[in-house]
Amino acid sequence: MRDIFEKIFGADSKPEKFFAPGRVNLIGEHTDHEGGFVFPCAIDSGIYALAARRPGKFLRLYSMNFDSEITSPFEISFDEIKEKFSERSWVNYPLGVASVLKSHGYNFDGGVDILYNGNLPGGAGLSSSAAIEVLTGKIFSELFDFNIDGVSLAKFSQEAENNFVGMNCGIMDQFAVSMGKKNHAILLNCSTLEYSYAPLELENYKIIITNSNVPHSLAGSEYNLRRQQCEAALADIKNVKKISCLCDLNFNELDEYSYSIKDSVNLKRARHAVSENARALRAYDALKAGDLDLFGRLMNASHVSLRDDYQVTVPELDTLAELAWSFPGVKGSRMTGGGFGGCTVSIVEKDSVEKFIAYLDKEYSKRTGRKATFYTISISDGARKII
């Protein structure tokens, strides 16, 4: 990366090195935007950056993943950052973060060069977007002495994604990427942002991520639609019961007030949010009590709810989950992330990992005509400067 940095930006600065991880969510899917609990962790794949201050007011950006055909960086004055670009669209994530920080009064009193290089598969639902946002925020914070704490960094990054990029996501991804802790998952209450870390001591088990290689292209529009459906269900319930978000309700209460939800599809969406919220909390307790069997069954139930009530799986993800469920040595398996493609996460007995991968690899391509990709991951710390 240092050679490329010199080639693209010149040799007269000494760049510093940064890293932001991707994330995998163990359980608590599509609950963050409904004020519920999520249980993600940061992973050891992510995006690296080299960054250095420079004279002038220009922000210069170059990605080794997206710009390999181009030899010049994207260049813009901090004063000119106002709206999205359609070409080299990846730059919208860093620009969004700069724009949000400016709007919160942070003063960019100089220029900066950033070179990015990621090893996260794009479009796989492992939060490459959150990774580049939080990474850029961290770089700005360090190089301009903004001293932004991890939770604020997550909030600014989410704001960039919502208001600049135009994806109405919740806080989970940016929070996990910013606040991740080695060998721990984070239980996050998305209405209060209270969080606690739970040690992920899986001993004889491994976390395996399987990429369906179905790009989650519908994710943006369908994601926003699901959120609207949940909002409509919430508005209906509010006519008869005082709550501020769907996850204020437990399952019995939702049942009791379900008559107020006019549209049966919206009721299914609400049922997922409420039941998934309860599963996330139970799963956290199960893990703390060392009950991996229960944890796994809750993961499986989460997939079923995402398939039948929230309807964000695709046949390929269902196939991967079902194959995993039928394999001895698997505790649990479910789709992870926004859905409509992307990955599953499975808890697999260490000694069975090789056979598990071989079995899924063969059966998945036989049943879907597609090739799956497998990653054995470790749980990592959140975004950081590398010294």
Structural contact between residues 264 and 294, judged by C-beta atoms closer than 8 angstroms: no
User: 195 or 359, CB closer to ligand GLA?
Assistant: 195
Least distance in angstroms from the C-beta of 172 to ligand GLA: 4
Q: Which of 32, 67, 113, 173 is catalytic?
A: 173
Structural contact between residues 32 and 168, judged by C-beta atoms closer than 8 angstroms: no
Written as six digits, the tokens of 264 are: 């049966």
Least distance in angstroms from the C-beta of 40 to ligand GLA: 9
**One residue of 8, 15, 18, 29 binding ligand GLA per CB under 6 A:** 29
276 binds ligand GLA (CB under 6 A): no
Task: Render 23-79 in DSSP notation, one character per residue.
Answer: EEE-S-TT-GGGT-EE-EEEEEEEEEEEEEEESSSEEEEEETTT-TT--S-EEEEGG
* Residue 99: its H or E element: helix 92-103
Task: Render 164-232 in DSSP notation, one character per residue.
Answer: II-----SHHHHHHHH-BTTEEEEEETTT--EEEEE---TTEEEEEEE-----TTHHHHHHHHHHHHHH
**Tokens 């978000």 correspond to what residue?**
245
**One residue of 172, 179, 245, 335 binding ligand GLA per CB under 6 A:** 172
Cα distance between residue 17 and residue 387, in whole Å: 7
Choose the stretch contacting ligand GLA; rule: CB under 6 A; options: 165-173, 208-216, 235-243, 279-287.
165-173
30 binds ligand GLA (CB under 6 A): yes
User: 148 or 165, CB closer to ligand GLA?
Assistant: 165
Written as six digits, the tokens of 80 are: 């000119």
Least distance in angstroms from the C-beta of 2 to ligand GLA: 32
Choose the stretch contacting ligand GLA; rule: CB under 6 A; options: 166-174, 234-242, 324-332, 375-383.
166-174
Least distance in angstroms from the C-beta of 62 to ligand GLA: 25
Start-to-end Cα distance in the chain: 15
User: 33 or 138, CB closer to ligand GLA?
Assistant: 33
173 binds ligand GLA (CB under 6 A): yes
**One residue of 8, 24, 32, 307 binding ligand GLA per CB under 6 A:** 32
User: 121 or 337, CB closer to ligand GLA?
Assistant: 337
Cα distance between residue 158 and residue 96, in whole Å: 10
170 binds ligand GLA (CB under 6 A): yes
CA neighbor of 280 nearest in space, from 29, 28, 25: 28
33 binds ligand GLA (CB under 6 A): yes
User: 130 or 323, CB closer to ligand GLA?
Assistant: 130
Q: What helix, strand, coil percent values describe the chain, rounded to 5?
A: 45, 20, 35
46 binds ligand GLA (CB under 6 A): no
Choose the stretch contacting ligand GLA; rule: CB under 6 A; options: 22-30, 241-249, 255-263, 322-330.
22-30
Cα distance between residue 26 and residue 344, in whole Å: 10
118 binds ligand GLA (CB under 6 A): no
HSE-CB of 119 using CA atoms within 13 angstroms:
7
Q: Please, what is the Cα angle at 59 between 51 and 14, to 5 degrees? A: 25
**Of residues 321-340, which lie at the interface with ligand GLA (CB under 6 A)?**
337-338
Choose the stretch contacting ligand GLA; rule: CB under 6 A; options: 12-20, 170-178, 254-262, 361-369.
170-178
Structural contact between residues 80 and 111, judged by C-beta atoms closer than 8 angstroms: no
Instruction: Supply φ then ψ for residue 36, to 5 degrees.
Output: -105, -165
> Annotated catalytic, 173?
yes
Burial of 289 (0-12, 13-18, 19+ CB in 10 A): exposed
159 binds ligand GLA (CB under 6 A): no
**One residue of 26, 126, 169, 372 binding ligand GLA per CB under 6 A:** 169
Choose the stretch contacting ligand GLA; rule: CB under 6 A; options: 6-14, 23-31, 73-81, 99-107.
23-31
Least distance in angstroms from the C-beta of 32 to ligand GLA: 5
Q: List residues with catalytic annotation.
A: 173
Site residues (CB under 6 A) for ligand GLA?
Answer: 25, 29-30, 32-33, 169-170, 172-173, 337-338
